Amino acid sequence: MNLYAIFLRGVNVGGVKVLMKDLAALLQDAGFTQVRTLLASGNVVLGSEEADPSRVKETVEQALRERYGRDIPVIVQDGEQLGRIVAEYPFKSPDDGIQRHEYLVLTGNEQDAAEVLGSAPEPAATERAARLGHAICWEVPRGESLKTPLAKHFTKVASRTLVTTRNMNTIGRIHLAMQSPTP
């Protein structure tokens, strides 16, 4: 059995609200096992006999399209990919009295991550960003995650590139759920 983390780009997509209990049932009906939603924001851990994450992505997106009548893109990560991100996240907050959030901006592939970060403005003096494979690691002061030029860039590119942002605490919880697959 292979375990995957599924990240919906949004749970409210073009007026379509995806409820987590409905999503779990939909994915079970699509043939996945050990389906668990986490934090009611489009995060799923599931099991599949399929070894190819791109095939899992196709199956999930097809099931969503058939149920909701529109494309709802997802990003799929296997345990190795997510484990690498958790282990190699490059930032440790400095002891300077500023509270910070640690985020992960997930993209569909390494090329997209390189393009998103390559076209980004310079981070503000109090934030940092670095690419880690198909993801962008981003640290920003609390209360600024929608305000900085870099934050606005991530929002803007979402209209043309598959990206979704998660707090690293959320990523850690999803990774932990993948380590104990029984719901």
Q: pLDDT at position 97, please?
A: 85
Helix (H, G, I), strand (E, B) or coil at 129: strand
**Which one is the CATH code of 2-78: 3.40.50.2300, 2.60.260.20, 3.20.20.10, 3.30.70.1280?**
3.30.70.1280
pLDDT tens sequence across 86-128: 999 999 878 888 899 999 999 999 999 999 999 999 999 889 9
Provide the whole-model pTM. Answer: 0.90
CATH superfamily of 83-175: bacterial protein sp0830 like (3.30.70.1260)
Residues 6+ apart with CB under 8 A from 58: none
Residues 6+ apart with CB under 8 A from 4: 45, 46, 47, 48, 53, 56, 76, 77, 78, 79
Local confidence band at 181 (pLDDT 50, 70, 90 cut-offs): low
